[in-house]
Amino acid sequence: MAESLLCGIRSDDRPQSGQDNRSSGDFTTQEAPSGTNMLRWTVEDSRGATLSGVTFNVMVDVSGGSDRTLYADVTNGSTTPYMAERQVYIANPGSIRERFFVSAFAIT
């Protein structure tokens, strides 16, 4: 089993102004290496320290439609089934009062 960094994104600690759920910009999970079957998620503060109590959702940005939840209740160290999506974002973070950084690692 091998891991490689797929993507990383900075997130606010709450939904962005004018948004119900979104707390980050968009990122993609489509660029995973061949054979990827899982993603492992990490959460760090602005200094690079691991944040173990933070939870968030990953939502799919649906242009002209209702966004949908791809992964729910993600935390540091969570693994999720790999799903290739063009535009996803961090949503509804909990148990955090500062900006944070999320990384997704492809597991092959």
For the stretch 3-36, pLDDT in tens is: 999 999 999 999 999 999 999 999 999 999 999 9
Closest CA to 79 of 20, 32, 37, 26: 37
Q: Please report where in the chains the tokens 């759920």 appear, as a residue.
A: 21
Domains of the chain with bracketed CATH = 3-107 (2.60.120)
Q: Which pTM was predicted?
A: 0.96
Cβ pair 106, 82 in contact under 8 A: yes
pLDDT > 90 fraction of the chain, expressed in percent and rounded: 99
Chain centroid to CA 45? 14
Taking the C-alpha atoms of residue 34 and residue 23, their distance in angstroms, rounded to an integer, is 29
**Quick one: the chain helix, strand, coil %, rounded to 5?**
0, 45, 55
